[in-house]
Amino acid sequence: MFQFIMKLNMLITGGTGMVGQSIKKMQENIPFNCYFLGSKDCDLTNYEETKKLFSKIKPDYVIHLAACVGGLYKNMNNKVEMFEKNILINTHVLKCCYEFNVKKCVCCLSTCIFPDKITYPIDETMLHNGPPHDSNDAYAYAKRMLEKHCEFYNNNFNTNFVCVIPTNIYGTHDNYNLEDSHVIPGLIHKCYLAKLSKEKFVVKGTGKPLRQFIYSNDLAKLILWVASSYKSKESIILSVGEKEEVSIKEVAIIIAKIYDYEENIEFDTKFSDGQYKKTASNKKLIENIGEFEFTPIQVGVQESIQWFISNYNNCRK
């Protein structure tokens, strides 16, 4: 699957997060020196710190996962922070990739940054075809600028910067904070506490919105494939197929069943649902990679819950 020929240096920004940790699990089988960067190691919003880091590591490849991220309500309530921090992080990473002659930089976007009003399924050509949903527009515009920034570098300086666009990610080592997390880790934590206190498992919203979820271990494999084997500089969606799209209600039921607490789910409809659907096509991925076996959501959620319970005292929450 991987075609790296010589031992190279690879820098993974956001390397202590969920996807970075999934890549770390695989590093013994991949022939390069990996440097997993966390926010405590370097402030990527500071250019001088970022430049100093690149000068020390001298990476040949960069997987750029670092971002200021959060769930629906963090995106809605902290728009200046979401926009400014992401713009600074992305600008400094790309600038240093160019200045230090990085062979390839793989940058991570998200399908949540696509236009709100659009025909489905979404494909890679539609990213800039209209405004994003207003619930996450600050984050979305910052990430869209990352895609254009890569394009500008490629066109002006013949760099090899490519953007991957995963659908909703979940997995072990996630952020389980009840306020700032994404939907699956938030529900995993909430159901855990509800059962512990013998209260209702309350899900914000109607549960009707539809999402495609990709397990972090699967995404790690695909990102490494892009770094090693994907020849194009065009952005590419990394996602399960359209048939694997599920509702938030279905996900909540899966989680509750694993906890043996499904009789206690309640949906609080006074909360916003956010964007109803973001259905993405993985046609380009399958055409380039051939077959790929994705982890079923029931299996991925089961493993995520087991990890969360085992690491409850130390995980991000």
Within a domain: residue 3? Answer: no
Is the distance from CB of 73 to CB of 268 less than 8 angstroms?
no
| Domain with 118 in it | 8-310
Q: What is the pLDDT of residues 24-76, one digit of tens each?
A: 999 877 778 999 999 899 999 999 999 999 999 999 999 999 998 777 667 77
Within a domain: residue 316? Answer: no
- Write the burial class of residue 68 (CB in 10 Å: 0-12 exposed, 13-18 middle, 19+ buried): buried
Quote the pLDDT of residue 3: 52
Within a domain: residue 315? Answer: no
Quote the pLDDT of residue 5: 52
Specify the residue for token string 């880091």.
53
Please determine, for residue 4, whether its predicted confidence score (pLDDT) is greater than 90: no
Quote the pLDDT of residue 69: 78
The pTM (predicted TM-score) of the whole model is: 0.91
**Which residues, 6+ apart, have CB-to-CB distance to 103 below 8 Å?**
8, 60, 61, 160
Q: Any catalytic annotation for residue 35?
A: no
Catalytic residue chosen out of the listed positions 35, 73, 139, 141: 139
DSSP string over 31-84: SEEEEEE-TTT--TTSHHHHHHHHHHH--SEEEE-------HHHHHH-HHHHHH
What's the CATH code of the domain at 171?
Answer: 3.40.50.720
Is the distance from CB of 112 to CB of 214 less than 8 angstroms?
no
Q: What is the mean pLDDT of the chain?
A: 93
Angle at 53 between CA 144 and CA 62, to 5 degrees: 45
Q: What is the pLDDT of residues 79-118, one digit of tens each?
A: 999 999 999 999 999 999 999 999 999 999 988 899 988 8
Within a domain: residue 317? Answer: no
Domain count, the chain: 1
Within a domain: residue 46? Answer: yes
